[in-house]
Structure 1
Amino acid sequence: MKEVERVRCLACGAENPPDFSFCGHCGASLPRPCPRCGFGNPRGFSFCGRCGADLLSSFLALPQAPLEGERRFVVVLFADLAGFTRLSEQLDPEEATVLVNRCLDEMTRAVVQHGGRVDKYTGDGLMAVFGAPVAHEDDPEQALRAALAMRERVAGLRLGSEVPSLALHVGLACGRVVAAGVGGRERKEYTVIGRSVNLAARLEEASTPGQILVGE
């Protein structure tokens, strides 16, 4: 009979049953093996530290491990490029694609560096979540810092003489949501649903270029 592989705690070295999420000896989060290479990544990592696999999407794709909804307190951030639709009509499609990718790259870096997760890209913008699947005590502060950082980074991009300086519309809202895998049987995506998501989106739409609106 094959012995069930146990999970070693990265903090204290103790071995735990494979279905444990936290170490029974010290309480630390247990690593989750990468579905592609088997590397033990700390829980909360979105991508494998060894092979770069998308851990969250891979986990959701496993039929034996669906994610059930759970209530979480999060901060939701929506941001998009001001006037990009009009600007893209003046550029070649290739130029517009390069431009939006450069901006999204800077916005994504700001989110990740402040402990958030990009939930989805929305054409010339993004939605980010702070507090799910990993929560931190200072998520509200870090979300605001991320908003300030991405605004500064996008405004500071050197995009050529034909492209004016760009600005962002940004909306932030915090509150209780349901975090879950959402989608059909073939594919699910981890996201959050609730009033705070709708409020952040409305605040982003109401903001002026370069403005960050924050709701409760």
Structure 2
Amino acid sequence: MASGGFGNPPLPGLQAARAPAEGRVDPGSDDEAVLRAMQAGGGLRLLGLRVVIVLVLLMAAQAYDGSLHALSHWLILGLYGLGTVWFGLRERGGGPAANLYSWAGTGLNAGLAVYVIIEHMLAGGGAGLGADAVSRLPAFLLLLQTGLSMRVAQTLLFCGVVTLCWSAAFLVGLLHPDLFPNADTFPTAQLTGLATFMAAGLLVVDGMIRLRAAVARALRMEHERTQLARFVPDTVALDLAAEDGDSGLGVHRRHACLMILDIRGFSRLSREHPPETMVTALLAVRAAAQAAVAEQGGLVDKYIGDAVLVQFVVGHPDVQARAALACALSIRDRLVTLNAARAREGLFPLRLVIALHAGDLLVGVFDDGVRAEYTVLGPAMNALARIETQAKAAEIEVAASGDFLDLLGGSLPAGIRAVPVPEAALPEPLSLFSIAVAPGA
């Protein structure tokens, strides 16, 4: 088995070295990509919403104070309706000017909201509370429409323009009450409306920011899962992307449980049997190992000759350890079944040695610009190689280090015990245990 241990270099340097070689763009970090994802498929609906809002404003204006409105009021509403639909169509058409049309549409919305509010103040709201509500309706409806565009800056612009103009009109009304009818109820009514609009604006903007952050994170996770899926099973890629969060596809320091297995006496068997026979035996062992690893949520790191290197990197360390041990025991049981089938075919039996260890490693996609692989590196790999060597020498089928067993907290599957191997030639603080069937089990 080839090991890849080394003395942990600075992690940021590794990630920086990988970036130019990969040349990949994380869509979660592209603000426009987030915006496009959130607006996908919503063009017609947003345009339809503009039309609905225009109709609501026209009906509300007619229902309250309709007879008092001058012709200019209806002309302004009509022009707004045509303008907002035109801007919506131009924006939906895309192109380099689409963003400018969007900003212009936001300005148009703010202008209408301010116009209706101030026009109602000057008219005195002849229909009482109902007219007050209708005068504020454009501000709130258009706030929601702007918010649904998912453009935070434009929503802030809309809120800022309406709040500033509304506040200015309110101050003018306080300083010159003779300009506004119903001066006795003016301060309370307008202050309440202004405060309500500001609160609604804050809620809408905060919700947009949170939603965009959630979508950006989802896009990053999907991007990472897609990239990792080139190297690892899709289910493992999803878990790794979720655990690594915003740290990207680089190399991470994380805990891992490692397992290596190989066929005992493979070199000798290769000299005694035809290559075709040995290839069949090797593939059968690999298939059994792969099935057990997938069953326990592990990852086959690589095949090295007749050896199989496996990593368990998802979940808490004790979860990793239990999955790795269950995988090793499953492989042992599968080998019994495999040898029974081979015996019926008159083939020689196969024997395995399985070693388990745990530790902190560098885990991730190592990319030198020519070849990329998802693997683990670190001193624990060297320790795993030593443990496997001693397990072979001691004729142990399943071996584990003391570090690995510590993660299990002394809890082993029923009928299984860990027997120390004191004569193992391992450097401190490594220790070797044989994972065997308990007497009477």
**TM-score by structure 2 length?**
0.37
Distance 1:148 1:167 in 2: 14
Q: Which letter does structure 1 place at the counterpart of 2:294?
A: V
Map residues 60-209 of structure 1 onto 2, 5 A cutoff. 67-131=249-313, 134-136=314-316, 137-157=318-338, 158-160=341-343, 162-208=346-392, 209=395
Distance 2:248 2:271 in 1: 42
1:35-69 Cα offsets, whole Å, 9 max, x none, are 69xxxx9x9x93358xxxxx79xxxxxxxx98322
Map residues 1-80 of structure 1 onto 2, 5 A cutoff. 4-6=36-38, 19-21=216-218, 31-32=222-223, 46-48=232-234, 67-80=249-262
Q: Which letter does structure 2 place at the counterpart of 1:152?
A: D
Contact residue 260 and residue 309 of structure 2 kept, 8 A: yes
Contact residue 170 and residue 203 of structure 1 kept, 8 A: no
Distance 1:171 1:92 in 2: 28
Q: Which letter does structure 1 place at the counterpart of 2:315?
A: A
Distance 1:175 1:147 in 2: 18
- Which has the greater radius of gyration? 2
1:155 deviates by 3.0
Matched residues, percent identical? 26
Distance 1:21 1:119 in 2: 27
Distance 1:123 1:166 in 2: 15
Partner residue, 2:399: 213
1:71 deviates by 0.8
1:1-27 Cα offsets, whole Å, 9 max, x none, are 985325xxxxxxx886664159xxxxx
Distance 1:105 1:17, change over 3 A: same
In structure 1, runs of 5+ residues without a counterpart are: 7-13, 23-28, 50-54, 57-64
In structure 2, runs of 5+ residues without a counterpart are: 1-31, 39-210, 239-246, 404-441
- Equivalent position SS for 2:253: strand
Which 10-residue stretch deviates more, 168-177 or 152-161?
Answer: 152-161
- Equivalent position SS for 1:5: helix
Q: Which letter does structure 1 place at the counterpart of 2:274?
A: D
Contact residue 151 and residue 210 of structure 1 kept, 8 A: no
Distance 2:390 2:368 in 1: 33
Distance 2:336 2:221 in 1: 40
Structure (1 or 2) with the greater strand fraction: 1
1:90-146 Cα offsets, whole Å, 9 max, x none, are 222122111100111101111111111000111112110011xx3245110110111
Greater relative contact order (CA < 8 Å, ≥ 6 in sequence): 1
Distance 1:116 1:46 in 2: 10
- Equivalent position SS for 1:138: helix
Contact residue 179 and residue 193 of structure 1 kept, 8 A: yes
- Equivalent position SS for 1:213: strand
Partner residue, 2:162: none
**TM-score by structure 1 length?**
0.71
Q: Which letter does structure 1 place at the counterpart of 2:386?
A: R
How many matched pairs? 184
Distance 1:34 1:69, change over 3 A: closer
- Equivalent position SS for 2:301: strand
Contact residue 151 and residue 167 of structure 1 kept, 8 A: no
Distance 1:34 1:66 in 2: 10
